[in-house]
Copies of this chain bind each other. A is one copy, B any other.
């Protein structure tokens, strides 16, 4: 079996059960315990939203992103990259989370990703609220050790407690550092903006050792500088890239839980990602897609495109040795 999209010249793009990018669907409960061979990237739905503090409903995010991915094609023009020449990819279905129960859901996500990571596949999570990233990091760090965290987000998510609780979409970064899953020295948060509680909002991330580049700085210094800093921070470390869809402006991504105006355009976000070509991605996600607030489906289309950039980053890295020869 080839792990690539259905040929859209044979079956139209609007047909078929919806998998990400029309990739083969590998049921998590049907495959071998250690994951399939030949799979370099697995898209995994993480339909958990109990960690949301305002609007809720990103449990339907994976469904929406899959629907929004039907137009994606296998060649990446900016990178001149025929993706599936270099990698195989599947839609790994969703992890069976438990709505309302964060820690149990974390265990299920970690267990669901473990066989993939162990076999060397890169999981790309489709959220779900941002609290799921902690569980993904646990799965990834169990194999790769502490990773760099490249986070594109409107919010730092590095609070200690949220409503007195430790595990929410506003605290996952601090937990990840505390648990030794993330190496702050290889980590950066880009795109932070919006009103806050006080100057400590950003200081918290910085005190954890994570570099911070606000949206205001991105506007002043340019996208290229943002990309450069992310690459510099990552170096050749194993990194996890977490893209919160609320880093986009609400005009580009209305379907999210805690919108902040003044964000990236989708064109900028896509460029920011593919210009990272060369980083060593061992995991990634696109989170906080909330389709009930996305009447025209543009958030889902944008999220699918961003997940596609992440796939391209993995393919690029696989390709480089070949090109060197």
Report which A residues bind B (CB closer than 8 A): 9-19, 25, 45, 47, 49-57, 59-60, 62-63, 66-67, 70-78, 80, 82, 91, 93-102, 162-165, 168, 193-199, 201-202, 214-216, 219, 249-252, 254-255, 258-263, 265-267, 270-271, 292-298, 301-302, 305, 308
Copies of this chain present? 6
**Bound state CA distance, A160 and B130, in angstroms?**
31
CB distance from A96 to the nearest CB of B (A): 3
Contacts A17-B19, A294-B296 given; indicate if A266 touches B259 (C-beta within 8 A).
Answer: no
Q: A54-B71, A262-B270 in contact; A296/B297 too (CB < 8 A)?
A: no
Given contacts A195-B77, A216-B78, contact A261 B251 (CB under 8 A): no
Residues of B within 8 A of A250 (CB): 252, 266, 296, 298, 301-302
A114 to B140, CA, bound (A): 47
Q: How far is the CA of A173 from the CA of B137 in the complex (A)?
A: 39
**What residue of chain B has the Cβ atom nearest to residue A264's Cβ?**
B267
A-B contacts, 13 of them at CB < 8 A, read A12-B96, A15-B97, A17-B18, A17-B66, A54-B71, A56-B59, A56-B99, A77-B195, A100-B163, A249-B266, A251-B298, A254-B297, A261-B270
Also in contact, A195 and B55, with CB within 8 A (given A99-B163, A263-B267): no
Residues of B within 8 Å of A60, CB to CB, are: 14, 55
Q: How far is the CA of A270 from the CA of B261 in the complex (A)?
A: 9
Q: Which residues of B contact A201 (CB under 8 A)?
A: 75, 77
Q: How far is the CA of A54 from the CA of B15 in the complex (A)?
A: 9
Given A13-B54, A49-B56, A73-B194, list of 10 further CB < 8 A pairs? A9-B162, A12-B53, A15-B97, A55-B60, A56-B57, A71-B194, A215-B267, A249-B265, A251-B266, A295-B295
- For residue A18, give the distance in angstroms from its CB to the closest CB of chain B: 6
Docked pose: A191 CA to B51 CA in angstroms: 33
Distance between Cα atoms of A160 and B266 in the complex (Å): 31
Task: Determine the chain B residues whose CB is within 8 A of the CB of A72 once the complex forms.
Answer: 195
Contacts of A9 in B (CB 8 A): 162-164
Partner of A74, one of B62, B197, B214: B197
A292–B57 CB distance below 8 A:
yes
**What residues of B have a CB within 8 angstroms of the CB of A56 in the complex?**
49, 56-57, 59, 99
The 10 closest A-B pairs by CB, nearest first: A262-B267, A11-B96, A254-B296, A292-B292, A261-B266, A15-B94, A73-B195, A250-B298, A295-B295, A75-B196
Q: Which residue of B lies closest to A192 (CB)?
A: B77
B71→A196 contact, CB < 8 A: no
Between A10, A63, A70, A164, the greatest number of chain B beta carbons within 10 A of the residue's beta carbon is seen for: A63
A163 to chain B: which residues have CB within 8 Å?
9, 12, 98-101
Assembled-state Cα–Cα distance A193/B73 (Å): 12
Report Cα–Cα, A53/B294, bound state, in Å: 21
B18 touches A63 (CB 8 A): yes
Q: How far is the CA of A219 from the CA of B224 in the complex (A)?
A: 13
